[in-house]
Amino acid sequence: MLQKDSAPRKKLDKCRGIGDNIEEGGKQEPQSARYRSLFWMLRRTHPGDFVMTRILADEEIDRLLMERKPLPENWRKRLEPRQKAREAHRRRLYKVQGEDGHQFRIHVRDSTIGLFDFSIILVFVDVDGVEYPLIRFNGKHPSDHTNKWEKKRCKPNARFRNQFHIHRATERYQIDPQCRIDGYAEVTSRYHSFGSALEAFVKSNGFEIKRDMPNDQPTWF
């Protein structure tokens, strides 16, 4: 009879050990191609909004965030979320090509019920079409947020509740099969509403307002 529980558990333990070695700088053997293939076989079955096919190193994440990304002068109009029938949220999706040729998407969501329930996400679209959320400006929500990687290692500030916060993709969260790529978040005082969050989002993350850029660039919903 096949043992359905013991083998997968051992595989997950091996993958978790790989993640610990990278972050804590232990003098252990580097990851093998076998373990990387095993990791992604398991990671692709992990529930979540985004299914990834490779690991983005922290250095690559930094470069993607800093890459210049043009926006038209009427960017507020282009990013203004719109209501859909029978939905409690307004949404907008806008596509941007960076100066280095990388493709990005801006996902905007704003609640029609909760004043501080919103999310603004910058997503990197890889050449194979796979999407990687890089940074997410969130409003407040009443439930706790837990930084799982930090909690498992008894790190400070691993949990907070009902505060404006920013999620950021990290290499260590991709390697841990129990975490999502942008599962790490920090409390922020950079904004206090959806409007100010959108301003802060555009002022950072490599965006540049181009006066000679057509204002009628298409927006996707």
**Does residue 164 contact residue 139 with C-beta atoms inside 8 Å?**
yes
Looking at residue 140, its pLDDT comes to 93
Q: What would the pLDDT profile of 115-131 be if each residue is shown by its tens digit?
A: 899 999 999 999 999 99
How many Å apart are CA 114 and CA 188, to the nearest integer?
19
Ranges of the chain with pLDDT below 50: 1-48, 218-221
Looking at residue 220, its pLDDT comes to 44
Q: What is this structure's pTM?
A: 0.73
Tokens 């404006």, residue?
164
Provide the residue ranges of all domains of the chain, joining segments of one domain with +: 1-45, 56-210
Looking at residue 142, its pLDDT comes to 78
